[in-house]
Homo-oligomer: A and B are copies of this chain.
Amino acid sequence: MVETDGDDAYVVRPVGRVASPLTDAASAPRQGDEGAPTAWLIFDPQVEQALADLSAGAELLVLTWLDRARRDVLTVHPRGDETCPRTGVFSTRSPHRPNPIGLHRVRVLAVDGLRVEVADLEALDGTPVLDVKPVLGPPDER
């Protein structure tokens, strides 16, 4: 049971999970376009209608819950490089932050029912998926 103290908190529930050969944060690329392997998003049956219009070639933003991150970290050395000065996490992509929501730009390779194969996803195996959004083109193409 998760309990919170009042109105000033909201509950997110995973709509699926990442399936990936990446299992260890230390060996994962820091961003998806820095050598991430092909991965799958495995969605829950309850959201089947929400993903009905995904198709190969789509460019998506995947929001995840970085369940192995720390929430009590406000400053980090960027990219884990101790020669970089400590920087506020809102100016970095560190997974460690008050609400550890990951944001990943991926490309859909294939869709097979509730399973969506994607390129460029650096999230670890088992990471909860919270949301998927299309990448927006220029205003005149919306």
Residues of chain B within 8 A of A90, CB atoms compared: 47, 50-51, 53-54, 60, 131-133
* C-alpha spacing A56/B17, complex, angstroms: 37
Residues of chain B within 8 A of A54, CB atoms compared: 88, 90-91
Number of copies: 2
Whether the pair B47, A74 counts as a contact (CB closer than 8 A) is yes
Q: Convert A104-142 into 0s and 1s, putting 1 for each residue whose CB lies closer than 8 angstroms to a CB of B.
A: 000000000000000000000000101111101001001
* Sample of 20 A–B contacts (CB below 8 Å): A1-B4, A2-B4, A9-B11, A10-B13, A10-B65, A11-B11, A49-B88, A50-B74, A50-B75, A53-B87, A54-B88, A60-B90, A61-B103, A63-B99, A63-B101, A63-B103, A93-B134, A93-B136, A101-B101, A103-B103
